């Protein structure tokens, strides 16, 4: 099963140094039944892209909480055994939790399939989005527009062997 773990660049550096994503429990995103129902598609690539996008939003929240982190969203795609990622059944209908799963154990970085990171040209929009996130959460439409601006940037794909160059 493919899961998408939201991080920041400092978090990615820590994972690289430790050789694993963790500590557990670890929040991630995946193609869950609720995400399938919400997205209304049977195309696995579209569903995985939706899960990746949810993880990118979670990475933005991590950036908002860490003002010293470079303003680039980071998502690590990892393959885990079926059943290793569990969705909270009590939040299945909560739109804010779509695709959200929890991993009970740290994951060796060797299980990573790819790393997705914003390009340099996204930094200004991602910085503005991270700064506006609190106001957007409280209903400010202008702030919501700013947060959505970060989503206009596609995350770039990197092979795991490129990880040292990213950090």
Helices 123-137, 141-150: axis angle to 10 degrees equals: 140
pLDDT digits (tens, 9 = 90+) for 10-56: 999 999 999 999 888 999 999 988 888 887 777 888 999 999 999 99
pTM exceeds 0.75? yes
- Cα separation, 43 vs 17, in Å, equals 36
State yes or no: pLDDT of 3 exceeds 70: yes
- Cα separation, 42 vs 55, in Å, equals 20
Look at residue 38 in the predicted model and tell me its pLDDT: 81
Helix ranges restricted to H, the chain: 9-18, 33-39, 44-65, 123-137, 141-150, 163-166
Lowest-confidence range among 1-5, 86-90, 99-103, 128-132? 86-90
* CA-based torsion, 40, 45, 46, 49: positive or negative: positive
State yes or no: pLDDT of 91 exceeds 80: no
């Amino acid at each position: 099963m493919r899961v998408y773990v939201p991080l920041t660049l400092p978090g990615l550096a820590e994972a690289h140094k430790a050789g694993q994503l963790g500590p557990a429990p670890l929040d991630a995103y995946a193609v869950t039944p609720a995400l399938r129902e919400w997205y209304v598609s049977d195309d696995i690539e579209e569903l995985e892209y939706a899960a990746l996008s949810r993880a990118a939003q979670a990475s933005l929240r991590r950036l908002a909480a860490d003002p010293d982190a470079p303003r680039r969203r980071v998502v690590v795609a990892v393959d885990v055994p079926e059943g290793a990622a569990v969705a909270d059944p009590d939040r299945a209908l909560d739109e804010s939790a779509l695709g959200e799963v929890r991993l009970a154990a740290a994951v060796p970085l060797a299980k990573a399939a790819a790393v997705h990171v914003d390009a340099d040209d996204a930094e200004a929009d991602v910085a503005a989005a991270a700064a506006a996130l609190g106001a957007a959460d409280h209903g400010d439409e202008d702030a919501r527009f700013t947060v959505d601006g970060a989503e206009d940037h596609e995350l770039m794909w990197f092979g795991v062997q490129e990880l040292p160059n990213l950090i």
